[in-house]
Amino acid sequence: MKKHAKTSVLKRILAVVIAVAVAVSILTVPEAEVSAATGKVKSVAVTNLPAKQLTLKKGKTFTLKSKVTVTGKASKKVTYKTSNKKIAMVNAKGKITAKKKGTAKIYVISKANKKKKCTITVTVGTPVTKVKLNKTKSTMTIGKKQTLKATVTPKKASSKAVVWKSSNKKVATVTSKGVVKAKKAGTATITATAKDGSGKKATCKITVKKASAAKPADPTPAAPDYAIKSMKVLGVESIEITFSKAVVLTKADFEIFAKQYSYGTYKKPYQAVQAETSDHITYILHINDEDEFQKNTYIKVAVKTSGVYKECIYRDKTVNIQKTRYYAIKVNGALESYNDDLTYGTGYRTYSIDKLPVGMDYYILNDIIDESIVFTGSPTEAGETQSLLTCEDELGNKYQTTIIWIIYDENQLYSRSTTCQYFSRENGVYHKPYSVYGGSGQYTYELAGGDYELFQTTISTSGYMSVSFENVDAGEYQIQVKATDKNNPALYTVATITYTIIDGAHISAIVRDANGDPIRRGNYSFHGYSDDPSQELSSTSGSIKDGTMSYTIIPGNYNITFYNASHTAKYTFYNQKCPVNSSDEPMTFDVTLPVYPVTIVPDPEKSTATSFGYWVDVNGANAYGYESGDTLYLPNGTYYIKTEDGKSYARFTVNGKSLTVKAYDRQ
């Protein structure tokens, strides 16, 4: 019995020891895991984009490559999140899919530290398809500077910015604006990469040489006997200067520069493309219409040969710009992506908003690229609420947005209508300039009052209106549309659409080649400007067909430019005051471009082509491309072109006359 008792005690002791060992092992496992996870996340970055932005066509995809920098053994895993799934989606592996036009933000967030993230702005729109530099190679001497200019295709790309980089900073550096500085003898490649993530780029090879021995200084020239008395910026493309006496000068005699800071140096050059004067005392200088003077910058104009110069500030006027925005949300509905961009004005800004629907709130999202106000929560009461969002910059400019919230439910109908602006005597429009919310969501429509008979208005079962302006004079008119709930006729709302009809400025032109004959194809553009920043005169462009064009614009001041189809030649009429006029007596321009018709025919021995498509430069010298078909209008020069499909080629030189050239198949 005693032996059995001792055995039993030993078993109990052994069981206790085993239990303690198991408990210790269980407790120590998390400590090992914690030890393995020690460390910090320093940063999160995306490595396969040149900047924190990306442009994709609708339906296209792009996969982000992320890099997480850590210390110790912190996790390098990330998660991906989108601010707007309707515009751009992203999966767990960073694959972005463009859904519809607009802008969304993709967040790459560290799993170990959610405060560490990288934000990519995704635009669903038009990406860059080509980048071209004004030079492919250049030779410089040590200490000298030059500015490379990058042009992107297409002209309507969503982002036209590029990122500059030097392959050898010891030889040559490049700034964010393309200014190259030669540092020491050697070679370097300057690369301009489209900032939108398309991967398109162009390069320029820079060869830096030592400066040659300085020549003996010329005798000190006599001081000039004139000065610039005054200067004034007339608009984004024109500047007026007045001399103390008559001085005969050409556009090549002027230098124009700009800088942003009073204590800075003039780094931004402009080229005077035209100099107008009637007395050689007052000159109006026009710069390239692809460049513009920027508001609140310092402008300097100098006469090259004399050293005479003057400076001024192109200061912006203080403005108070107001606009209205509508949001419609169902009671207790999700807000989704209701936000407003706050990148207004100059410098630092303050924001305020005075009222929101019950159940809603907001916060200011500060991002590296921009700022926006984000609305949160869910509205709980039906009705209309007006919020006033005010943004004020450090120059005193105010930008106010009246936000009208329509919070609807099934018990009442609400309508929102807009103010439409059209030119008098136009043919008309088929549209639905109003919206209806609430009830069952199904409605019948009828014209309920106002001037709909004058506009010969009809309305479809879906609410679209056919409106004619042929017999309408300038003025303000209204049309009322009644919308009734199909399932509950007691519910209805009346939308009032306001039509502002204005008299337009009618413009027409005939555009000729250097022989005096109308060109088959070309383009025109209007760039409107006003001294009042709150008045918007839209810029627009269009096509010239068979040598003619006609267009109606809002009366005002415009620079009007006419181009050949390849934009290799142009002529600009500056500061044109376009008044109200009749379409029977339009403001007319007769333009001669320095281009000659080049007829292209298949070489019977070397070509199998029966027709030609779009022609482009073989070496990429012309970013716009040329034209399609068998006739091109080109200025003097030597050309080496091919069709876009690469099947036909042609070489020729234009030298002051029309010519016919033979195209051949690719060898």
HEC profile for 464-476?
A: CEEECCCCCCCEE
Q: How confident is the model at residue 33 (pLDDT cuts 50, 70, 90)?
A: very low
Residue 654 has pLDDT above 50, yes or no: yes
List the one residue out of 415, 414, 403, 409 whose CA is nearest residue 355.
403
pLDDT at 314: 83
Q: How confident is the model at residue 4 (pLDDT cuts 50, 70, 90)?
A: very low
Percent of the chain with pLDDT over 90: 51
Q: How confident is the model at residue 550 (pLDDT cuts 50, 70, 90)?
A: very high
What is the amino acid identity at position 507? I
Q: How confident is the model at residue 219 (pLDDT cuts 50, 70, 90)?
A: low
Per-residue pLDDT tens for 506-520? 999 999 999 999 999
Point out the least confidently predicted range of 14-18, 102-106, 581-585. Answer: 14-18
Point out the least confidently predicted range of 83-97, 355-369, 471-485, 619-633. Answer: 619-633
Residue with the bigger pLDDT between 8 and 202: it is 202
Whole-angstrom distance, CA of residue 483 vs CA of residue 445: 5
Residue 91 has pLDDT above 60, yes or no: yes
Q: Which of 74-88, 384-398, 412-426, 483-497 has the highest mean pLDDT?
A: 483-497
List the one residue out of 250, 258, 255 whose CA is nearest residue 277.
250
When pLDDT is averaged across residues 642-646 and rounded to a whole number, the result is 88
pLDDT at 536: 53
Q: Is 61 helix (H, G, I), strand (E, B) or coil?
A: strand
Residue 245 has pLDDT above 70, yes or no: yes
pLDDT at 396: 81
When pLDDT is averaged across residues 317-336 and rounded to a whole number, the result is 84
pLDDT at 625: 67
Q: Are the beta carbons of 81 and 106 closer than 8 angstroms? A: yes
Whole-angstrom distance, CA of residue 371 vs CA of residue 369: 7
Residue 558 neighbours by CB under 8 Å, 6+ apart: 526, 527, 528, 529, 537, 576, 578
Residue 148 has pLDDT above 50, yes or no: yes
Q: How confident is the model at residue 39 (pLDDT cuts 50, 70, 90)?
A: confident
Per-residue pLDDT tens for 249-308? 999 999 999 998 888 899 899 999 889 999 999 999 998 767 788 877 889 999 988 889
Whole-angstrom distance, CA of residue 208 vs CA of residue 190: 12
When pLDDT is averaged across residues 394-410 and rounded to a whole number, the result is 89
pLDDT at 24: 38
Residue 14 has pLDDT above 70, yes or no: no
When pLDDT is averaged across residues 614-636 and rounded to a whole number, the result is 81
Tell how strand 349-353 and strand 383-393 pair up. Answer: antiparallel
Residue 505 has pLDDT above 80, yes or no: yes
Query: Residue 1 half-sphere exposure, CB side, CA atoms within 13 Å?
Result: 0
Per-residue pLDDT tens for 407-461? 999 999 999 988 898 888 778 899 999 999 999 999 999 999 999 999 999 999 9
Residue with the bigger pLDDT between 90 and 235: it is 90
What structural domains does the chain harbor? 41-124 (2.60.40.1080), 130-209 (2.60.40.1080), 233-314 (2.60.40.1220), 320-408 (2.60.40.10), 413-501 (2.60.40.10), 505-592 (2.60.40.1120), 596-665 (2.60.40)
When pLDDT is averaged across residues 608-635 and rounded to a whole number, the result is 82
Per-residue pLDDT tens for 446-504? 999 999 999 999 999 999 999 998 878 889 999 999 999 999 999 999 999 999 998 88
Joined together, the tokens standing for residue 94 give 């960073």
- Output DSSP code: residue 112: S
Residue with the bigger pLDDT between 32 and 273: it is 273
Whole-angstrom distance, CA of residue 364 vs CA of residue 357: 18
Average pLDDT, the chain: 86
What are the C-alpha distances in Å from 143 to residues 171, 172, 209, 210? 10, 10, 10, 9
The sign of the CA dihedral 260, 265, 270, 274 is positive
When pLDDT is averaged across residues 526-555 and rounded to a whole number, the result is 78
Residue with the bigger pLDDT between 62 and 425: it is 62
pLDDT at 656: 93
Residue 154 has pLDDT above 50, yes or no: yes
pLDDT at 218: 56
What are the C-alpha distances in Å from 334 to residues 226, 290, 330, 364, 436? 70, 44, 8, 19, 19
Structure pTM?
Answer: 0.52
Whole-angstrom distance, CA of residue 406 vs CA of residue 414: 7
pLDDT at 624: 56
Residue 16 has pLDDT above 90, yes or no: no
